[in-house]
Amino acid sequence: MRVSKAPQRAYQICSRCVMDTSDPWIVFDCQGRCNHCTDFLERRLSVTAYSTTDKIPSNSDGPEHLWSSIPRNRGLHDVVVGVSGGVDSTSVALLAQKAGLRVLAVHLDNGWDTPIALQNVLQLASLPGITYEAEVLNWNRFKAVQRAFIAAGVPDIELPTDIAIQAALHRAAVRHGIRTILSGGNIANEGILPVCWMYNPRDSLYAESILHKAGLPPSFYAPLKFGFRQELRCRLKHRIRTLYPLNQIRFSKDNARQHLSSAIGWQSYGGKHCESTYTRFCQLIYQPRRHGIDYRRSHLSADICLHQVTRSQALDVLARPAWNDLDVDYDVAFVARKLDFSADQLQTAMASPPCWYIDFPNRQSLLGAAYNSFRILTGRRKASNF
Amino acid sequence: MLQPRLIPVLLVDGQLQLVKTTGFSERHYLGDPLNAAYVFSAFEVDELLVLDIDASTQGRSIPLPFVAALARFTSVPLTVGGGITSLEQIHDLLALGVEKVALSAVLSRSFSFLQQAADRFGSSTISVIVNVRSLGEGPALAWFGRPDAAGAGPGQPLAQLVLASQQAGAGEVVIQAADRDGQRHGYPVAMLAELNRELTIPLVALGGCGSHGHMAELLQATPISGVAAGSLFVYAPGTHQVLLHYPPSHHWLQQHLPALQECWRCV
Amino acid sequence: MSLSVAIVDYGTGNIASLEMALRAVGAEPEVVRQPADLASADAVILPGVGHFGPASADLYGSGLAQELCHRAAAGLPLLGICLGFQLLTTASEEAPSAVGLGLMPLSSQRLRPHNTHLHKVPHLGWNTLEPASGSSRLLQGITPEQQLFYFANAYAIAPDPRLPSIQVTYSHETPCLALVEHGLICGVQFHPEKSRSQGLQLLRNFLALAAECC
């Protein structure tokens, strides 16, 4: 019976936001407020437009100063944007296009696309000034990697996709000689996210040890890999940088949904990140069942800090199970079949003791130091989790 | 009135990888066929045609567990094919939840198998795929089995082969224009129109479609029963980049249907 | 409490899709091969594909035909789909020496359109229904624009205006029966289990009809 090295905690929930001991490393102050909302309010928001009371451009215009800082390329495209069909990436692509930038929209096909997401990508791909490219992962190999992560028992079963996206975007940037990647990532929605819920995708040692435990060779990870060394090479040799335009406006997902719908016929699908069947499975079924993690806590806590929702309203939302509107049996059957599990095998895996990133070899302290040094040297502030 | 069917075609290889062919030689990797089937099912396609293109050369038929997954996770009418050679295989495939099976290679060795299958299972469940070389001079030559030129013998005149299939109880014939595969230059309209006049069973066109314009050309010329395509539905329009889609084509057809049906009444 | 729906297996064709569709609308289908298996059924469905001759022989050989007629007379709701619809009638040209259940005074003939350029046989694909003559229970909640269903048939049943039943037709050069409601005995020529949300709605409507009789 596998025992994780994660700390065993008595249940406690933050008195200010709704993060709780489903992050086993959560720290509470004497007033019961957690490190997540404290860090969010005191440090994370400082890189966003929420930190100032200056006039902020509206959702639909985007940050002028940001666009003017992006070099126009001699090649065919000025920026690379990773597009999933979701509201964040679609917003970024559209803002860039509207600002007159020539956009290379790259979609990572990891075998889990949903029809609505694909329709949204098609709408985007049809716009002038946007060129579409697809990077299709080798499914037979990728599913082996996903199986390995489920077998490992860790919550970050989405890590292979997340890192594959980074690898694909940087490859596209290098291939086309583009120096700017625009990310739909934004602190307002993702600024509260425990490291243990989604460990650093850049830590190749972690991912490779999980694959090694499952008996997979490193070659299975190679096409997905984007580690610190690769990132350094992209930044220093190819001078590629990633910008986060949505941090420069007071990005509201609800407003964005409405705007995208009327501008390009964008369609919503309900639920966060459900442009991918696997993401839906991960956040609404797998993580709750195996680790007691309710992913909604993270963005609800950010919403509380930004006064977009009250703590009481957030608790009401959390009172309804994340999987309430799903046909759980169908989703589990589909995911199982895709990953070559029987439904029973997948259920058994989900009922097995949870593990966390610390149960596997990783370079957390080394990478933390490396990234901190990098920030000190370049004067950048920490804009993401790593 | 019965509407023409718009049919995406999914090709899977020996490792159950979704591929798109050009000239039936080059293979472009497209991803996971089960997810593609699920997506097209959610798009509510008229029918989905799934073919295992390595089955007959590898001496096997399209794998049953794979077809079981297709049937389990889709709800659209399904036709599957690839290396089918026995009545037991047809029985097992239909029992999994498939509407029709597609026969081809077996008929070049044993044409009488067609009549046996139609008699046992009903012609509505039996689809026949006929390859044809349509470009260049001389009469169109047709053959069963692998569509690439290397596998083809001298071939028979198209009409002769297709009428024989009709006579033997085929429920429909899919004409695959082997030399137009992946080219996106259009269907062999004149050939298909002429054939459609002679046939009493449904005809489906496959091979060459790259745009709605190509579909329009064909449908205006003849009241063909089905328009099948691979490239059109798997690539972003005008590109070689994977992006599964269907609704725009469906809407296009629905918009043009009344005019087409009027046109056909006079044909 | 979900309804007990029996699907009759007469050794031909595709039951799997029908089972899935019934589960999708909340029923718990059971596949039935012997008369005794019908005892607990609240409703029975005769499924879609195959040959009239062997299917009829199987039904009579197992005793299911007799039991179905007996239960139907006692008010058991029946839905015949495609071949199943034809089996509810008296006979089919497909197998002249075989008999149907005779629960509807109709029979099937091979489709023989004159204009074979325009109208092919089998009738394969999506076709629309002509407006319902009366108020069809099975089509409740399905708007005229949505009345598009998937067909795969070489044989058809001609409408009979003398019958008091609800009859809805499709056109394949001539009008043919798409749907009949003969009291609690219903038949559809098309495949509701493959006909999108409108097909599922039709199955739901049949189950609602059956539930009222329980």
Q: Average pLDDT, stretch B69-80?
A: 97
Residue A71: exposed, middle, or buried by beta-carbon count in 10 A (0-12, 13-18, 19+)?
A: exposed
How far is it, in rounded angstroms, from Cα C14 to Cα C82?
12
CA-based torsion, B227, B231, B233, B236: positive or negative: negative
* Number of Cβ atoms within 10 Å of the Cβ of C181: 23
How far is it, in rounded angstroms, from Cα A103 to Cα A124?
10
The complex scores an ipTM of: 0.95
Share of chain A above pLDDT 90, in %: 75
The per-residue b/e assignment along A345-381, b for 16 or more CB within 10 angstroms, e otherwise, is ebeebbeeebbbbbbbebbbeebeebbeeeeeeeeee
Q: Which among B4, B99, B200 has CB closest to C194?
A: B99
pTM for the full predicted model: 0.95
The shortest C-alpha distance from C181 to chain B (Å) reads 22
As a residue count, chain A comes to 386
Q: Give the model's confidence band at A274: pLDDT under 50 very low, under 70 low, under 90 confident, else very high.
A: confident
The shortest C-alpha distance from A350 to chain B (Å) reads 22
Give me the helices (H) in B74-122, please.
87-97, 105-109, 112-121
The pLDDT, as a whole number, for residue A54 is 61
How far is it, in rounded angstroms, from Cα C172 to Cα C119?
6
Query: Between these two residues, A63 and A207, which has the higher pLDDT value?
Result: A207
Domain that holds residue B52: 5-265
Residue A164 scores a pLDDT above 80: yes
How far is it, in rounded angstroms, from Cα B266 to Cα B230?
31
For chain C, the average pLDDT equals 93
The pLDDT, as a whole number, for residue B42 is 96
How far is it, in rounded angstroms, from Cα C130 to Cα B6?
23
Contact B239 A112 (CB under 8 A): no
Long-range contacts of B155-163 (CB under 8 A, 24+ apart): B158/B130, B158/B132, B158/B191, B158/B195, B159/B195, B159/B198, B161/B130, B162/B130, B162/B195, B162/B198, B162/B199, B163/B198, B163/B199
Q: Is the peptide bond before A155 cis (omega within 30 degrees of 0)?
A: no
Nearest CA in chain C to B166: C121
Domains: count for chain B = 1
* Number of Cβ atoms within 10 Å of the Cβ of C70: 12
The pLDDT, as a whole number, for residue C110 is 95
How far is it, in rounded angstroms, from Cα A176 to Cα A174?
6
Contact C49 B201 (CB under 8 A): no
Query: Does C214 participate in catalysis according to the annotation?
Result: no
Return the closest-CA partner of residue A78 out of A47, A39, A104. A104
Share of chain B above pLDDT 90, in %: 81
The pLDDT, as a whole number, for residue A313 is 97
A261's tokens: 């719908």
How far is it, in rounded angstroms, from Cα C212 to Cα C184?
11
* Minimum mean pLDDT range among A257-271, B216-230, C149-163: A257-271
Query: Between these two residues, B136 and B58, which has the higher pLDDT value?
Result: B58
Residue A48 scores a pLDDT above 70: yes
C123 touches B: beta carbon within 8 Å: yes
Taking CA atoms, A114 is separated from A270, A274, A283, B63, C194, in Å, by 12, 8, 16, 25, 21
Contact B201 C121 (CB under 8 A): yes
Q: Give the model's confidence band at B215: pLDDT under 50 very low, under 70 low, under 90 confident, else very high.
A: very high
Q: Which among C13, C171, C193 has CB closest to B94?
A: C13
Domain that holds residue C163: 4-213
How far is it, in rounded angstroms, from Cα B135 to Cα A261?
45
Q: Average pLDDT, stretch A57-71?
A: 71
C1 touches B: beta carbon within 8 Å: no
The pLDDT, as a whole number, for residue A58 is 53
Q: Which of C67, C82, C123, C186 is catalytic?
A: C82
Question: What is the strand order of the sheet A241-243 is part of?
Answer: A130-136, A103-109, A79-82, A180-182, A241-243
The pLDDT, as a whole number, for residue A386 is 47
Q: Average pLDDT, stretch A265-290?
A: 87
Give me the helices (H) in C13-82, please.
16-24, 52-62, 64-73
**Measured torsion, CA atoms of residues C31, C36, C41, C43, in degrees rounded to the nearest 10:** 80
Q: Three-state DSSP class for A124?
A: helix
Query: Does C82 participate in catalysis according to the annotation?
Result: yes
How far is it, in rounded angstroms, from Cα C105 to Cα C91?
9
The pLDDT, as a whole number, for residue B51 is 97
How far is it, in rounded angstroms, from Cα A263 to Cα A93?
13
Residue B149 scores a pLDDT above 70: no
The pLDDT, as a whole number, for residue B178 is 85
Residue C134 scores a pLDDT above 80: no
The pLDDT, as a whole number, for residue A385 is 53
How far is it, in rounded angstroms, from Cα A239 to Cα A219?
27
Domains: count for chain C = 1
Return the closest-CA partner of residue A48 out of A386, A385, A382. A382
Query: Between these two residues, C94 and C127, which has the higher pLDDT value?
Result: C127
C87, C121, C124, C128: which to substitute to probe chain B, counting the most B Cβ within 10 Å? C124
Q: Rounded to a whole number, what is the distance in angstroms from the first to the last CA of chain B?
A: 15
Contact A334 B73 (CB under 8 A): yes
Residue B161 scores a pLDDT above 80: yes
Residue A142 scores a pLDDT above 50: yes
Q: Give the model's confidence band at B112: pLDDT under 50 very low, under 70 low, under 90 confident, else very high.
A: very high
How far is it, in rounded angstroms, from Cα B179 to Cα C117?
26
Q: Measured between beta carbons, which residues in chain C are less than 8 angstroms from residue B201?
A: 120-122
Share of chain A above pLDDT 70, in %: 93
Contact B31 A111 (CB under 8 A): yes
Return the closest-CA partner of residue A203 out of A224, A184, A175, A217. A224
CATH code for position C60? 3.40.50.880
Q: Give the model's confidence band at B265: pLDDT under 50 very low, under 70 low, under 90 confident, else very high.
A: confident
Return the closest-CA partner of residue A190 out of A76, A332, A302. A302
B64 touches C: beta carbon within 8 Å: no
Residue A206 scores a pLDDT above 90: yes
How far is it, in rounded angstroms, from Cα B53 to Cα B83?
8
Query: Between these two residues, A64 and C64, which has the higher pLDDT value?
Result: C64
A140 touches B: beta carbon within 8 Å: yes
Nearest CA in chain A to B237: A126
Q: Which amino acid is at B38?
A: Y
The pLDDT, as a whole number, for residue A64 is 77
**Measured torsion, CA atoms of residues B255, B260, B262, B265, in degrees rounded to the nearest 10:** -150
For chain A, the average pLDDT equals 91
Give me the helices (H) in chain A, please.
35-42, 64-68, 87-98, 115-125, 139-152, 159-176, 187-190, 204-213, 228-236, 253-264, 277-281, 287-291, 296-305, 311-319, 328-338, 343-351, 364-378
Instruction: Give A338-377 pLDDT, tens digit per residue.
Output: 999 998 999 999 999 999 999 999 998 888 888 777 777 7
How far is it, in rounded angstroms, from Cα B25 to Cα A153?
43
C15 touches B: beta carbon within 8 Å: yes
* Minimum mean pLDDT range among B151-165, B166-180, B222-236: B151-165
Query: Does C186 participate in catalysis according to the annotation?
Result: no
* Number of Cβ atoms within 10 Å of the Cβ of A214: 16
Q: Which among B15, B43, B236 has CB closest to A140?
A: B15
Residue A272 scores a pLDDT above 60: no
Give φ, ψ of A191 to 5 degrees: -70, -20
Residue C61 scores a pLDDT above 50: yes
Q: Measured between beta carbons, which residues in chain B are less than 8 angstroms from residue C14?
A: 94-99
Q: Which among C14, C116, C124 has CB closest to B95?
A: C14
Instruction: Give A80-114 pLDDT, tens digit per residue.
Output: 999 999 999 999 999 999 999 999 999 999 999 99
Q: Give the model's confidence band at A326: pLDDT under 50 very low, under 70 low, under 90 confident, else very high.
A: confident
Q: Which DSSP string corresponds to B161-208?
A: HHHHHHHTT-SEEEEEEGGGTTT-S---HHHHHHHHHH-SS-EEEES-
Residue B230 scores a pLDDT above 70: yes
Q: Which among A125, A136, A277 has CB closest to B31?
A: A136
How far is it, in rounded angstroms, from Cα C32 to Cα C9?
6
Domain ranges of chain A: 56-293+325-378
Instruction: Give A12-28 pLDDT, tens digit per residue.
Output: 999 999 999 999 999 99
Q: Give the model's confidence band at B196: pLDDT under 50 very low, under 70 low, under 90 confident, else very high.
A: very high
CATH code for position B37? 3.20.20.70
Nearest CA in chain B to C21: B75
Q: Give the model's confidence band at A59: pLDDT under 50 very low, under 70 low, under 90 confident, else very high.
A: low
How far is it, in rounded angstroms, from Cα B241 to Cα A105?
11
B7's tokens: 């049919």
HSE, CB side, 13 Å, CA atoms: give it for residue C206.
35
Contact C49 B121 (CB under 8 A): yes
The pLDDT, as a whole number, for residue A2 is 61
The pLDDT, as a whole number, for residue A271 is 59
B115's tokens: 């009549």
Q: Average pLDDT, stretch A214-232?
A: 93
Q: Can you give the C-alpha Rg of chain C in angstroms?
A: 16
A13's tokens: 């929930």
CATH architecture for residues A56-293+325-378? 3-Layer(aba) Sandwich (3.40)
Question: Assign residue C11 a region: left if phi > 0, alpha if psi is -120 to 50, beta otherwise?
Answer: left
A77, A107, A118, A277: which to substitute to probe chain B, counting the most B Cβ within 10 Å? A118
The per-residue b/e assignment along C74-91, b for 16 or more CB within 10 angstroms, e otherwise, is eebbbbbbbbbbbbbbeb
Q: Measured between beta carbons, which residues in chain B are less than 8 angstroms from residue C49?
A: 94, 99, 121-122, 124-125
Return the closest-CA partner of residue A64 out of A75, A54, A51. A54
B1, B2, B200: which to substitute to probe chain C, counting the most C Cβ within 10 Å? B2
Q: Name the most confidently modeled range: A154-168, A181-195, C129-143.
A: A154-168
Give φ, ψ of B183 to 5 degrees: -80, -30
Q: Which helix (H) or strand (E) holds B49?
A: strand B48-52
